[in-house]
């Protein structure tokens, strides 16, 4: 098994779990880790919110030993708040701190954060420098190709990140205006890899073992990161890990196995967030697990009405009954 190092953090060169707001929570991360994810990044948290002692922001940064190696992710547009937030974040003992310069969502970019940072190279550099100088924990940066097709500047931004002390850069090769549409341009990842000496993490359109292998081959990246490709499929990390351990990748789980995996995931959610909140968030997670099975559309509709674990257990029984016919 090959490994990479981000700062002094050793990470298996298989596949990592991408940060996904309101998706990759602790339950999701634990499922990914149990199946073999090499590394996890938590949900992005506001640097300013952390500085102002916002309880919900702090909850996003909790790290458990089962999730390691793990990074916490901060977003913000002001270097003074980033510096202070990084110092506060040290108390959560993350292995790595990631700065978000890639989120394309309006509520983030409209405040000058996320991918908007790629429009202001000077401010971006100051933010990276402020974070790096405030901690001994490795600092990484998540970026996109650029703001739009007329401003592809991932290479320039990656060089600035490296110059200011970033330990690695993760590239999602879509522009802000693309959001998650179209095809990820892996050539951007390769261009960044060719331009910097720090590790480069590639992300975008990896949904299978073959995709993972091909991203490594085409881009030369140091680590592959998977986001939406893992929706309802935490075993993908296990399949990829099998391949890089020289084994025949495990097959897709049977329906019965999927039901047990889903049950494990949903109960982790309710254990962490309580039944009321956990089951509300479980509706989307459960819907992803049933994609492609018989009666999926009706099942997704029923999942959207779940409120209790009893409701969930009835749904699992329904899945088995529908697929036995």
The pLDDT tens digits of the residues spanning 72-93 come to 999 999 999 999 999 999 999 9
Nearest to 211 by CA among 128, 203, 97: 203
Kindly report the pTM of this predicted structure. 0.95
Instruction: Please identify, in words, the CATH class of the domain defined by 255-324.
Output: mainly alpha
Q: What is the pLDDT of residue 325?
A: 60
CA dihedral 248, 253, 257, 263 (to 10 degrees): 110
Tokens of 208: 């299978």
SS3 content of the chain, % helix, strand, coil (to 5): 50, 15, 35
Tokens of 162: 């490296």
Band (18; pLDDT cuts 50, 70, 90) = very high
Better-scored residue on pLDDT, 35 or 295: 35
Question: For the domain bounded by 3-244, which CATH number is listed?
Answer: 3.20.20.70
- CA proximity to 229, closest of 213, 209, 200, 248: 209
Average pLDDT over residues 209-224: 98
94 CB contacts (<8 Å, ≥6 apart)? 42, 61, 63, 70, 71, 72, 137
What is the C-alpha to C-alpha distance for residues 200 and 182, in angstroms, rounded to an integer?
A: 22
What pLDDT score was predicted for residue 38? 98
Cβ(75)–Cβ(45) below 8 Å: yes
Site of tokens 């090959």: 2
Among the listed residues 179, 189, 183, the one whose alpha carbon sits nearest the alpha carbon of residue 108 = 179
**Active site members:** 103
pLDDT beyond 80 at 253: yes
DSSP assigned state of 115: G
In the block, tokens 């819907």 appear at 287
**Residues 6 or more apart from 137 whose CB is under 8 A from it?**
7, 86, 90, 94, 95, 96, 97
According to the model, what pLDDT value does residue 24 have? 94
* pLDDT at residue number 113: 97
What is the β-pairing status of strands 223-226 and 200-203?
parallel
Range(s) for CATH 1.10.1200.80 in the chain?
255-324
Q: How far is Cα 96 from Cα 178, in angstroms, rounded to an integer?
A: 28
Where, residue-wise, is CATH 3.20.20.70 in the chain?
3-244
């Amino acid at each position: 098994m090959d490994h990479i190092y981000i700062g002094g953090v050793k990470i298996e060169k298989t596949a990592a779990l991408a940060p996904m707001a309101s998706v990759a929570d602790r339950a999701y991360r634990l499922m990914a880790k149990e199946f073999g994810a090499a590394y996890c990044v938590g949900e992005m948290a506001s640097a300013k919110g952390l500085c102002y002692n916002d309880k919900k922001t702090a909850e996003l940064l909790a790290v458990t030993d089962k999730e390691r190696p793990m990074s916490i992710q901060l977003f913000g547009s002001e270097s003074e708040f980033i510096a202070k937030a990084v110092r506060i974040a040290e108390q959560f003992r993350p292995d790595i701190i990631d700065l978000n310069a890639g989120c394309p969502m309006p509520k983030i970019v409209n405040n000058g954060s996320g991918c908007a940072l790629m429009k202001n190279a000077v401010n971006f550099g100051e933010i990276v420098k402020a974070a790096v100088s405030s901690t001994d924990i490795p600092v990484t940066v998540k970026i996109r190709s650029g703001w739009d097709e007329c401003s592809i500047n991932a290479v320039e931004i990656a060089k600035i990140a490296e110059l200011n002390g970033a330990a690695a850069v993760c590239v999602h090769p879509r522009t802000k205006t693309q959001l998650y549409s179209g095809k990820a341009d892996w050539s951007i990842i390769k261009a960044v890899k060719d331009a910097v000496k720090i590790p480069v993490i590639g992300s975008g359109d990896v949904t299978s073992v073959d995709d993972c292998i091909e991203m490594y081959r085409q881009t030369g990246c140091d680590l592959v990161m998977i986001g939406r490709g893992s929706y309802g499929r935490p075993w993908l990390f296990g399949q990829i890990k099998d391949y890089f351990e020289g084994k025949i990748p495990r097959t897709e789980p049977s329906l019965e196995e999927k039901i047990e995996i889903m049950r494990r995931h949903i109960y982790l959610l309710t254990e962490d967030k309580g039944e009321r909140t956990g089951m509300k968030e479980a509706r989307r997670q459960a819907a992803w697990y049933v994609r492609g099975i018989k009666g999926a559309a009706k099942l997704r509709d029923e999942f959207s009405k779940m409120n209790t674990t009893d409701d969930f257990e009835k749904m699992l029984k329904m899945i088995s009954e529908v697929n036995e016919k």
